[in-house]
Amino acid sequence: MSRLRRDLARIYRDLTPAQIEQASYRALNHTVAKLVKPAQQYTSTKLKMSAAAIKKQLKVDKARPGRMRATLSAATPSMRMRDFSPKQFKKGTKVTITPRQRKLVKHAFIQTVATGTGSTMGVFSRGKYVTGRGFVKGAHGKGTGKGKITQLKTSSVAQKLDDTALLTTLRRKMYNDYPVRLGYLMGRASSLGPSPARF
Q: Do 20 and 61 lie in a common domain?
A: yes
**70 and 86 co-located in one domain:** no
Both 119 and 107 in one domain: the answer is yes
Alpha-helical (H) ranges within the chain are 3-14, 17-33, 36-44, 51-57, 157-160, 164-191
The pairing of beta strand 79-80 with beta strand 149-151: unpaired
In a shared domain, residues 162 and 104? no
Q: pLDDT (tens digit, 0 to 9) for every residue of the chain, 199 residues total?
A: 466 666 667 776 778 888 889 999 999 999 999 999 999 999 999 999 888 889 889 999 999 988 999 999 998 778 888 888 899 999 999 999 988 888 999 889 998 887 777 788 889 998 887 777 777 777 555 544 556 888 898 888 998 999 999 999 999 999 999 989 998 888 888 775 554 444 3
**Domain extent at residue 148:** 79-154
**Is residue 171 one of the residues assigned to a domain?**
yes
pLDDT at 197: 41
Query: Is residue 187 domain-resident?
Result: yes
Residues 22 and 58 in one domain: yes
Q: How far apart are CA 153 and CA 167, in angstroms?
A: 24
Structure confidence at residue 131 (pLDDT) = 76
User: Does 143 fall in a domain?
Assistant: yes
Residue 197 belongs to a domain: no
The answer on 41 and 86 residing in a single domain is no
Query: Measured between alpha carbons, how far is 11 from 19 in angstroms, rounded to an integer?
Result: 11
Instruction: For residue 198, tell me if it sits in a domain.
Output: no
The total of structural domains in the chain comes to 2
3-state secondary structure of 183: helix
**Same domain assignment for residues 31 and 59:** yes
**71-74 and 79-80 beta bridge pairing:** unpaired
Answer whether residue 179 is part of any domain.
yes
Per-residue DSSP letters for 96-120? EEETTEEEEEET-EEEEEEETTEEE
Burial of 155 (C-beta count, 10 Å sphere; 0-12/13-18/19+): middle
Give the pLDDT of residue 139: 55
Residues 11 and 54 placed together within one structural domain of the fold: yes
pLDDT at position 3: 66
- Quick check: is 196 in a domain? no
